[in-house]
Amino acid sequence: MDDMKQNHKLTIIVGPGSGIGLSIARKFASNGFGVVLVARKKDRLHQCVSELKNLGINAFGVPADSTDPSSVKNAFEQIRTKYGVPEVLIYNAVIRRKKAPSCLTEEELMNDFKVNVIGAKTCITEVLPDFVKQKKGTFLVTGGGFALHPSIDFSSMSLGKAALRNFIFSLGEELQTKNIYVGTVTIMGKIEKNTKYDPERIAQAYWNMYSDQNKRELIFK
Compute mean pLDDT per 10 residues along the chain, 221 residues long, and list them: 66 89 97 97 95 95 97 98 97 96 97 98 98 97 97 98 98 97 97 95 97 97 92
What's the pLDDT at 83? 96
What pTM was estimated for this model as a whole?
0.96
pLDDT at 17: 75
Q: 3-220, which class in CATH?
A: alpha beta
pLDDT of residue 86: 97
Q: DSSP states of 65-77 as a string? A: -TT-HHHHHHHHH
Phi/psi of residue 40, nearest 5 degrees: -80, -40
In 3D, which of 151, 139, 138, 140 has the Cα closest to residue 188?
Answer: 151
**pLDDT attached to residue 19:** 80
